[in-house]
A and B are shown apart, each in its own frame.
Chain A
Amino acid sequence: MNPVLGELWPYLLVILAGFLPTEVWRTAAVLFARGIDEESEALVLVRAVATALVAAVIARLVLTPTGDLVAVPLIVRIGACVAGFGVYLIYRKTVFFGVLTGEAVIIAGAWWAQ
């Protein structure tokens, strides 16, 4: 890859692989907003596929992170998710407290593992 293209590549990737495949759904939604029933069966299926896919992204980031997170033991990464989830459920489904708890566990784990 030549240097100019190499420098522009992240921006091109954002447009081609980020903006276009995302915006196509928003655009389609505008065009079909009058005719589409939000509760239709096809949308239940595609929403389930999308949810499972984002869940897979979460699992990948937690189980096999690409960055420095890999330095934190796997059991701590999973434990932080479980703790955050538990607090989220207990504290009236407040995402903020759940995230705070998960963070506390991961930071403590990272500090301990150092």
Chain B
Amino acid sequence: MSESPTPPDPSSAPAAGAGHWYWRGAWTALTSTQGMVLLGTYIGFGGLLQDIGFPLAAGLFSTLIVWALPAQVILIGGYAAGTAPAVIALAVGLSSVRFFPLTVSILPYLRGRAGLGTQLLAAHFVAVSAWVESMRHLPGLPAPARLPFFFGVANAYVAISLVATVIGYALAGTLPYALALGLLFLTPVSFLLLLTRNARELVDYLALVFGLALAPLFAEIGGRLDLLWTGLVGGGAAYLVHWWRRRPR
């Protein structure tokens, strides 16, 4: 805190207003590794939109209101495959289950005296990127600074992603063939690494490995619900191992 010569007193309101913390959060996000990864992955997402033939405006709309890259990829993947909307919604709903623990764990920092509407708006911006970056900084900030800081981080990430989606969409049509294919590949390879990085316990790693390994099997025998079956069987098996290791003896 270069602008304050004395250490801040946590019990008092910060000298700086909400606007200061908002822009501070935005700057933190813009200069983070996560920001660069988002730029890359959403350039990939823009490329995927172009590749699948999904309208750019609808893709940007999905970034804004869904704000969950795996869900968006399932969505446009399902659109491309002609999957029934109810099945897509179910797969998206299952892939978005992770937002429940993410949101529950970040809300105690953000809640303060905020009303239900503000909490719901904050929860909307909870995604893996904003969560990872915010949880690193929030505990050290004075309580009134946390909510504006979080909104700054999350909004900067959304802005990066929207711009990157447009860039990716535009570049996918004009780039050399090999680079265009590279953009399409950003989504799966970055997800693989982000899922690995997010894994905390054995059960998370097992679920990742089982999901990868079972996907080709259920693609053959699972019909239209193959993603769901892979999730349920792979995740269920990972949980069983977890349960077996933790059982009282």
Contacts and interface: CB of A to CB of B under 8 A. Distances in A.
Interface in A24-81: 24-30, 32-33, 36, 38, 41, 43-69, 71-72, 77, 80-81
Interface string B159-195: 0000000000000000001111110111111111111
- Chain A interface size, as a band, is 35 or more
A90 interface: no
Contacts of A66: 51-52, 77, 80-81
A59 B227 CA distance: 10
A2 interface: no
A52 B226 contact: no
Given A32-B104, A52-B234, A55-B195, A21 B181 contact: no
A7 B190 CA distance: 31
Interface stretch (B19-27, B150-158, B197-205): B197-205
A47 B101 contact: yes
A14 B231 contact: no
A104 to B, nearest CB: 8
Interface of A is mostly: helix
B217 to A, nearest CB: 10
A81 to B, nearest CB: 6
Interface string A90-101: 000111101100
A60 B199 contact: no
B231 A49 contact: yes
A23 B89 CA distance: 12
Given A52-B214, A67-B48, A68-B51, A13 B88 contact: yes
Interface of A: 10-11, 13-30, 32-33, 36, 38, 41, 43-69, 71-72, 77, 80-81, 84-85, 88, 93-96, 98-99, 102-103, 106-108, 110-111, 114
Interface of B: 33, 36-37, 40-41, 48, 51-52, 54-55, 58, 61-62, 65-68, 70-75, 77-81, 85-86, 88-105, 107-108, 111, 116, 119-120, 123-124, 126, 177-182, 184-197, 199, 201, 203-204, 206-212, 214-216, 218-219, 226-228, 230-236, 238-239, 242-243
